[in-house]
A and B are shown apart, each in its own frame.
Chain A
């Protein structure tokens, strides 16, 4: 079967899968941002308990395999009475896993803001929360964007694993097509190209654009 015919025949499956992958990616990215921000801030907190919780989270999710985490959330948690929709398990686990990596980026970015900025905010008598929210985080955001771009690409590629808990994402549909046709080169080749296009022509340009916007906001044009 020529490749064009192959594409025509199975395009709807690839499109369906791609949409699910994009949904998984978008939601996982959101979870990762929230988890990274919270655990990154907690890791810098004065309270030992807060720091301990953050460290436990980071160690568990960074120190173990994403696939094992997916199986835990999907197959093991129901044994303890927590049952989640597989779609939810997918983006939640991927988001929490990469959020643990993001926590270190958040901490590094906050620490990269010069001491003088904290001191100036204190001299204006700003509360700790206001100092963080108004002065430190906006500047940390500029520092975090370049490494965060890498993490976003990792998240996109990481979502391929949700196929293994039967979320009907791009990888899942591709495997189905392969099982039906045995056209492995065409099937997996198509998936390869779609993942690459999204990483290279969607995630990267958006992150670059954000970097430019933030640089302009901070007056570094």
Chain B
């Protein structure tokens, strides 16, 4: 299906202003693959510094939320705002139009992402992975980039592996390097897409420990998709449960996990907790 022609962009603000501008806003966002509607009129605000976890059965559109925000997927209707500015659109003659490549690059610089399969660059060392973006994109000198990268590799406990290629690192180690790589770009929003799903059980805590540290130390806004309900409960400010491309229920971890209102939420949680 083509971009919805009836879709009227004039109902969306050119930018978000006021006291409580969210760091991320999905406003009426719809995503379709052919006739399949993956996300259906999603409305979601994430406040600055907030940690929001998205859970839900596979195919519920939760990973798509992160991928749209990283601009890895286009959207079919609605507008996504980051830090008050439209991401998917831009202002032209007082109206919103589809964002061009330059605008996407400008807004995208506020967002960093970690992937389920790490996606480290295999032809670069751990340090090389972490200085690539700062040098090639931000224009830092090698020395500045290395200083920044080493600080972050130290933060994730990988400073001693700085000269190793990814193929020499375990999954947990690779994911920690990937977190350092994303942080080296100094994003305002970090996205974690099932970052522990491809890991052996015994190394999951390496990665969750790093993310826990970020929650404590930094004023990062974070969006995380995970299947680890226990971890989500521990670090999230809010948990959103997705079903069929919509938020079925959301709230604080205690509210959602201990006292779910919705029948489908209860069913999903009991199934997941049984599997865990």
Contact = CB atoms under 8 A, between A and B. Distances in A.
Whether both chains belong to one complex is answered with: yes
Interface of A: 114, 116-117, 119-127, 130, 134-135, 138-139, 142, 217-220
A116 B168 CA distance: 19
B115 A139 contact: no
Contact of B165 (A116, A122, A219): A219
Interface in B15-74: 70-72
Given A124-B181, A125-B105, A219-B168, A119 B119 contact: yes
B123 A120 contact: no
B182 to A, nearest CB: 7
B121 interface: yes
A123 B70 contact: yes
B166 A122 contact: no
Contacts of A139: 122-123
Interface residues of B, number: 30
Contacts of A116: 115, 117, 119
B105 A218 contact: no
A124 B133 contact: yes
Interface of B: 70-72, 105, 108-109, 111-113, 115, 117, 119-123, 125, 132-133, 136-137, 164-168, 178, 181-182, 185
Contacts of A117: 119, 121
A122 B133 contact: no
Contacts of B185: 124-125
B186 to A, nearest CB: 11
A125 B121 contact: no
A220 B167 contact: yes
Contact of B71 (A120, A122, A217, A220): A122
Contacts of A219: 122-123, 125, 164-168
B132 to A, nearest CB: 7
Given A116-B117, A125-B109, A126-B137, 13 more contacts: A117-B121, A120-B119, A122-B71, A122-B108, A123-B182, A124-B182, A127-B105, A135-B121, A218-B123, A218-B167, A219-B123, A219-B167, A219-B168
Contacts, number: 69
Interchain residue pairs A-B with the least CB separation, the first 3: A219-B165, A124-B133, A120-B119
B119 A126 contact: no
Nearest to B185: A124
A217 B115 contact: no
Most buried by A among B71, B125, B132, B181: B132
Nearest to A113: B122
A125 B167 contact: no
Contact of B123 (A125, A126, A138): A138
Given A125-B105, A125-B109, A126-B137, A120 B72 contact: no
A114 B105 CA distance: 22
Contacts of B132: 124, 134
Most buried by B among A124, A127, A142: A124
Nearest to B137: A125
Contact of B122 (A122, A127, A218): A218
Contacts of A123: 70, 72, 111-113, 115, 182
